[in-house]
Chain A
Amino acid sequence: MMDQSEAATAIDRREFVADLVAQCPKALVITGLGSPSYDVFAAGDRPRNFYLWGAMGGAAGVGLGLALAQPEQSVVVITGDGEQLMGLGCLATIGVKNPKNLTIVVLDNGHFGETGMQRSHTSLGTDLVAVAQNCSIQHTALVRDMADVPGLAERIHARRGTALVQVIIKPDDVARTLPPRDGVYLKNRLRHELGFPVL
């Protein structure tokens, strides 16, 4: 749970995402709708990104299906607290499978940023790391410091087991940088990157 003093020292979301993606150039990245999609796009568009613009609560599930299908690729879901809260049950589903190549990064500002910064459950009592631990997700971490990025990137690269990483970010408004919205394009682009035909 984040208080005012923590918010002041918290991580800048754009800086964190840019640094993480730069250190994981081969990772397949699924983004949750809203700001995480903008953050990942702002870090530089790449065919290995798949941005969700809807399907709230579904980012981790997409990541699970992809991770199971592609065990030799590192799969990173980058989403927000609100999006993950809508798919909380999926953490239990992921905890059953624990694919070694899946990492869920929750950018947690404790608020629903896209809809006017109403407080979310993570700033009202829910502890996502504890939830993930109790869903038997193999590895969990709370990140408050940019110095943790290299270790996280190394872990993603090593594919050492499913991880949920809660990153405490500042509840700042950042400029919207809008990735492509054509889902068919995004889907086929990622499949092409992995060597699969459209159908």
Chain B
Amino acid sequence: MTAADAPPRDWRDQIYTVLKDYQIQQIAYVPDAGHSSVIRSAVADPDIHDIVLTTEEEGVAIVCGAWLGGQRAALLMQSSGVGNCVNMFSLLQSCRFPFFTLVTMRGEYAEFNHWQCPMGQATQGALALMGITVLRASRPEDVAEIVSAGLEAAFVGGQRVAVLLSQSLIGRKQWGSK
């Protein structure tokens, strides 16, 4: 079987390939099920610094430090984490740091836990208010391209970019009751 015949890999695995294509060397994260494959790959990769965070705002500071030191870094979080970052986002605009974050969405699609909704529904607006360009991927076949476009804008274009991974893409969380 040639590479061209290979079945399309899962969008989660494609994200990691694209991050590597863009020479990401640090991956800071607060875990989410939607990020679990990327996190697993990062932890297993000796060329990547994987950095588990206690809160997402630490990650904003860390990825800026990485840039100061000549490395590209990505921040992975869930939509609730965007709210934790708001003031720390000042660092991005004040110093015009390139910035790339991948955000798995909650609170927008078949959400069982309505406590996720206030921040989930404010996520895009909060990012925009803090000067971050928002892209969104909602279909598996679009993920790699949109992540790549975000990385290009961030590290070639010098922008601040968030790629939202729609909750519909990730699928319904199984709670065991209807």
Contacts and interface: CB of A to CB of B under 8 A. Distances in A.
B61 A65 contact: yes
A30 B65 CA distance: 9
Nearest to A88: B54
A149 interface: no
B70 A70 contact: yes
B40 interface: no
Interface stretch (A16-24, A47-55, A136-144, A152-160): A47-55
B156 interface: yes
Contacts of A87: 58, 61
A66 B58 contact: no
A56 B61 CA distance: 10
Contact of B65 (A54, A57, A63, A184): A63
B110 interface: no
B156 A199 contact: yes
Contact of A183 (B51, B59, B73, B95): B95
Interface residues of A, number: 40
Contacts of B70: 69-70, 191, 194-196
Given A64-B51, A65-B73, A187 B68 contact: yes
A61 interface: yes
A66 B38 CA distance: 22
A190 interface: yes
A53 B94 contact: yes
Interface string B90-129: 1100111110000000000000000000000000000000
B26 A68 contact: yes
Contacts, number: 130
A187 B96 contact: yes
Interface of B: 25-26, 28, 49, 51-55, 57-71, 73, 87-88, 90-91, 94-98, 155-156, 158
Interface of A: 28, 30, 50, 52-70, 73, 87, 89-90, 92-93, 96-97, 183-184, 186-187, 190-191, 194-196, 199
28 contacts: A53-B94, A55-B60, A57-B57, A57-B61, A58-B60, A58-B64, A62-B64, A62-B91, A65-B65, A65-B69, A66-B69, A68-B51, A68-B65, A68-B71, A69-B25, A69-B26, A69-B70, A87-B58, A89-B54, A89-B55, A90-B61, A92-B54, A93-B53, A93-B58, A187-B67, A187-B68, A191-B68, A194-B69
The 8 A-B residue pairs with the shortest CB-CB distance in the complex, in nearest-first order = A65-B65, A69-B69, A61-B61, A183-B95, A89-B54, A58-B61, A65-B66, A66-B65
